Structure 1
Amino acid sequence: MRRTATPVIPFFRAALIAAGLALAACAPQPTAGVALPAAPAAPQSRGVAASGPVQVALLLPRGAAEAGVQALAADIEAAARLAAAEAGAGRIELRVFDTAASPAQAAQAAQAAVNGGAAILLGPLYSATTRAVRPVATGAGVTALSFSSDSAAGGAPVFVMGDLPENEADRLMGYAASQGVGTLAITRPQSDYGALSERAVREGAARHGVRVVHTLSYPRSFEGVQAALGEGAPGVRASGAEGVLIADGGQALRAVAAFLDYYDVSPRSVRFMGLGLWRNPETLQEPTLRGGWFAGPDPAAAADFEARFRAATGRAPHPLAWMGHDAVRAVAQLLAQGGAAPFAAQAVANSAGFDGARGPWRFTPAGANQRALAVFEVTEEGFVVRDPAPAALGAGS
């Protein structure tokens, strides 16, 4: 029977906005109102000298209006400089160009970087700014390693290196299938990230023989979640799904899980699951999520990077700071492989991959990335590894 009272749960609009900020660096961004030039035919990739410093441009939103985005940009830069110092011998010369979170300014920054002799572009941060940089990179024959988490923004000479829902969903669905989960319901926010996550989960589920039997979306507000779950939770329950994936994080995740439980979609009868946004201390504060599974990076490798970052800067890194480190480390590894054009698309999409701050990873020829991920379970004591990340990636595709 449908409940009429509202469960008491800790959920505030301000917390939703804060949780949304963590998504802002990786979710697809709208490009409406920005006229982007068509990409010209690509010339040969820009080469580098056999010795001496290589100019590497870092495209970051230093001048963004939001203080949180400025802080993220600062930590990505700090992590990049850490990796450059670890590469040694003054081989990598980093120069930072401000994109201000604007597609138009990102294109101008990229043009200034290539005019100044940059051999490769690292960044920008958003999907929209990445698309704006593509014509510049293509026209100059310069590869860009974007920090976006929208695989649709990738494609040579642009490669995206942010966490992709596709990787997380594939790893999680493979594990869920191995544990006997055969049917799945998806709950997700009505946002670009929500739509991207649903598509990724559907594709991963299909690859591993898991049937998606129900979907439920909700506006990302307290009233929206309350109304959508009140109306939609009975459908989730009636679907008979053995697993329920909640594609959200922070206070929004806690609210959705609490409402599902209140409307008798209980973790005692179904397995709650999620993507990388679950790796957040707030997840541990929601008892309903205990026993839930999610995919994420190797904790040992991540801890080593965090310790080195703290030693170099005196502070803990932003959760997305690792992208600056991994981008520069990839540059160093590509340079070490030698060749007149170490940053050509064929070299970047090398199936051997790279050693990252959170484990092995590689780019795909399509401009996306693949990562070695673990599967975690939420417990009262913390996140416990249920299935470790592989030590190496399998054969490339």
Structure 2
Amino acid sequence: MLKKISFLFGFLALAGCQSTVVTQGGAEGSSTEISEVTLGNDGTFRVGVLLPLSGNAAKQGNGLKNATMLALEDVNEPNLILQYYDTKGTPEGAQVAAVNALNQNSRLLIGPLKSSSVQAISEEARSRNVPVIAFNTGSNVLQPGIYTLGLMVDEQVDRIMTYAANHGRSRFALLIPDNKTGVAVARAAVKSAQKNGVKITRIGFYTPGTTDFSDISKQMSDYNARTGRLQNLKNSLKAKVNAGDANAAKVLARLNKTDTLGDVDFDTVLIPESGAGLKAAVAMFGYYDVYAPQVKFIGTSVWENTPLNRESALRGSWYPALSRSHGSYFANKYANLFGERPSSLYSMGYDAVALSAALSKKSGADLNETITNPDGYLGINGAFRLLENGQNQHSLDIVEVRPGGDVIIDEAPKKFDLMEPFDGNSAIVLEPGYQAPRIFGKDTSTAQSLIYGRSLGLENQPLDYIPTAQEKEIVREGLQKLNIVVPE
């Protein structure tokens, strides 16, 4: 049975209470210089909260602090003490903060924010057997005792691809940034495709931050081949028209209204992009004759940060998101208290404190064993569980973009009974006859080495041409969809 964090039993009633953040002896000030002070064991459960309260990431750090203080008020656990330490947004600052927190009897550390800072404190925390619950999802810093509540890329990719596969989508293209995140998306997509019995047909890489997707979209959509195919047919018909074939003239007139002939070899495009970049990418696919609903656009949780309902090309698209079952309570209360809507990152801070409250009641228990309870917990962001390797699993909604606003079309499961953890970072084992996707925007061998951990053999390489029989079938199907019969 799923373990429920205690605040969920009473937070609806709390919503009507006076909205004031109070320290009630539970929240103590921050420290930045190494201190030799050691607090006695007074029966309280002390949690060191390591955040960038100054420096470049101060906005996120203070937002997280606000969220943790809001959670402290809601859980109303008198034995829980939060002690705040400023990491200054640097690994060195994080080390100082961690030493102070540990010297002052913190039994659990929440934070830091950046992967470099998590790495900087890991050895010290593990040597003192104090668990760390961070927010960064870099798999290179996660290990037993060093956990993250951050939303993992691989679980997002698997959730959306599994949903798409279960709803008839079988051939996927990936348009991904040429960076670590893009590679993580590609690895997870390849593994999810294997799990779901679907195929990744092509992967396009783009420069992070760009809004110019014209070239990569043109390549991925086989625009030149599809326009060339149409032009060849038109040329053949023109010869018949010149010979006096009236039927050929009618067919040619209809074909003159189209730009391409034949479908692309994918029915779904995964784009882990947001904002102007996402809108530009989808618009360019449309420009090169790749449209919904024939092709479904899907994304990751970053889509939630972009208003999409006014984008006609994205209507009907899907993306995964943290469960919204209880998130509105947190978002509304945070906005009332602090004058702005919280990011999803801040809700992680809330859940970290709620989890701390649950741990504070386990007197004498092995914290790591309790933290990694396979039944998981139910928080503001829905069901989640922390895994022994430091990664996590969230129960995610599937959201559809509609004109009136995004709508949940598949609610996040509330139990992990039937949900096996998905590890997109483990080695990819290729099945016999596996054919790798075509690569665009990057050297194929380099891309394969990043995704598969090695350059693949000739037997796994994609075809760089279309066999004659397949080409004829593409033309036949294309004309059939246009309801056109070409005269012999």
Q: TM-score range by the shorter chain?
A: 0.7 to 0.9
Q: 1:250 aligned to 2:261? A: no
The CA distance in 1 between the partners of 2:158 and 2:100, in whole Å, is: 39
The CA distance in 1 between the partners of 2:218 and 2:196, in whole Å, is: 31
Q: In structure 2, what residue type is equivalent to 1:390?
A: P
Q: Is the 8 A contact 1:335 1:342 kept in 2?
A: no
Residue number among 320, 324, 331 corresponding to 2:349 in the alignment: 324
**Superposition pairs of residues 141-156 of structure 1, within 5 angstroms:** 141-156=129-144
**Superposition pairs of residues 230-309 of structure 1, within 5 angstroms:** 230-234=218-222, 240-309=265-334
The CA distance in 1 between the partners of 2:222 and 2:86, in whole Å, is: 49
Q: 1:136 aligned to 2:124? A: yes
Q: Is the 8 A contact 1:333 1:354 kept in 2?
A: no
Q: Secondary structure at the match of 1:391?
A: coil
Q: 1:60 aligned to 2:51? A: yes
Query: Across the two proteins, how many residue pairs are aligned to each other?
Result: 344
The CA distance in 1 between the partners of 2:334 and 2:285, in whole Å, is: 39
Residue number among 371, 379, 386 corresponding to 2:402 in the alignment: 379
Q: In structure 2, what residue type is equivalent to 1:372?
A: S
Q: Secondary structure at the match of 1:171?
A: helix
Q: Against the structure 1 CA distance between its residues 177 and 223, is the aligned structure 2 distance closer, same or farther, given a 3 Å change threshold?
A: closer
| Partner residue, 2:110 | 122
Q: Is the 8 A contact 1:334 1:342 kept in 2?
A: no
Q: In structure 1, what residue type is equivalent to 2:71?
A: A
Displacement of 1:303 after TM fit? 0.9
| Deviation beyond 6 Å, 4+ runs, structure 1 | 235-238
Indicate the larger mover: 108-117 or 208-217: 108-117
**Superposition pairs of residues 348-359 of structure 1, within 5 angstroms:** 348-359=371-382
Q: In structure 2, what residue type is equivalent to 1:201?
A: A
Q: 1:92 aligned to 2:83? A: no
Q: Secondary structure at the match of 1:124?
A: coil
Residue by residue over 1:14-38, the C-alpha shift from the partner in whole angstroms, topping out at 9 and shown as x without a partner, is: xxxxxxxxxxxxxxxxxxxxxxxxx
The CA distance in 2 between the partners of 1:117 and 1:195, in whole Å, is: 40
Displacement of 1:342 after TM fit? 4.7
The CA distance in 2 between the partners of 1:276 and 1:347, in whole Å, is: 28
Q: Against the structure 1 CA distance between its residues 342 and 214, is the aligned structure 2 distance closer, same or farther, given a 3 Å change threshold?
A: same
Displacement of 1:239 after TM fit? 5.2
Q: Is the 8 A contact 1:58 1:97 kept in 2?
A: yes
TM-score by length of 1: 0.81
Q: In structure 1, what residue type is equivalent to 2:88?
A: A
Displacement of 1:204 after TM fit? 2.1
The CA distance in 2 between the partners of 1:298 and 1:375, in whole Å, is: 9
Q: Against the structure 1 CA distance between its residues 377 and 104, is the aligned structure 2 distance closer, same or farther, given a 3 Å change threshold?
A: same
Q: Secondary structure at the match of 2:344?
A: coil
Q: In structure 2, what residue type is equivalent to 1:300?
A: S
Indicate the larger mover: 89-98 or 280-289: 280-289
Q: In structure 2, what residue type is equivalent to 1:58?
A: V
Q: In structure 2, what residue type is equivalent to 1:266?
A: Y
Residue number among 323, 343, 364 corresponding to 1:340 in the alignment: 364
The CA distance in 2 between the partners of 1:224 and 1:100, in whole Å, is: 36
The CA distance in 2 between the partners of 1:232 and 1:266, in whole Å, is: 13
TM-score by length of 2: 0.66
Q: Is the 8 A contact 1:153 1:160 kept in 2?
A: no
The CA distance in 1 between the partners of 2:64 and 2:322, in whole Å, is: 18
Q: Is the 8 A contact 2:211 2:276 kept in 1?
A: no
Q: In structure 2, what residue type is equivalent to 1:333?
A: A
Q: Is the 8 A contact 1:247 1:275 kept in 2?
A: yes
The CA distance in 2 between the partners of 1:80 and 1:223, in whole Å, is: 36
Residue number among 359, 366, 384 corresponding to 1:361 in the alignment: 384
Q: 1:189 aligned to 2:177? A: yes
Q: Is the 8 A contact 2:221 2:264 kept in 1?
A: no
Root mean square deviation, CA, Å = 2.2
Q: Against the structure 1 CA distance between its residues 271 and 304, is the aligned structure 2 distance closer, same or farther, given a 3 Å change threshold?
A: same
| Partner residue, 1:11 | none
Displacement of 1:226 after TM fit? 3.5
Displacement of 1:202 after TM fit? 2.1
The CA distance in 1 between the partners of 2:177 and 2:133, in whole Å, is: 28
Displacement of 1:278 after TM fit? 0.9
The CA distance in 2 between the partners of 1:102 and 1:214, in whole Å, is: 39
Displacement of 1:279 after TM fit? 1.0
Displacement of 1:116 after TM fit? 1.9
Aligned sequence identity (%):
27
Q: In structure 1, what residue type is equivalent to 2:364?
A: A
- Larger Rg belongs to: 2
The CA distance in 1 between the partners of 2:310 and 2:141, in whole Å, is: 35
**Superposition pairs of residues 17-96 of structure 1, within 5 angstroms:** 52-65=43-56, 69-96=57-84
Q: Against the structure 1 CA distance between its residues 223 and 287, is the aligned structure 2 distance closer, same or farther, given a 3 Å change threshold?
A: closer
The CA distance in 1 between the partners of 2:169 and 2:414, in whole Å, is: 25
Q: Secondary structure at the match of 2:62?
A: helix
Q: Is the 8 A contact 2:213 2:280 kept in 1?
A: yes
Displacement of 1:103 after TM fit? 1.9
Q: Is the 8 A contact 1:154 1:160 kept in 2?
A: yes
Residue by residue over 1:156-202, the C-alpha shift from the partner in whole angstroms, topping out at 9 and shown as x without a partner, is: 11001101112211211221111111110111111222222222222
Give structure 2 stretches of 5+ with no counterpart.
1-39, 227-262, 422-488
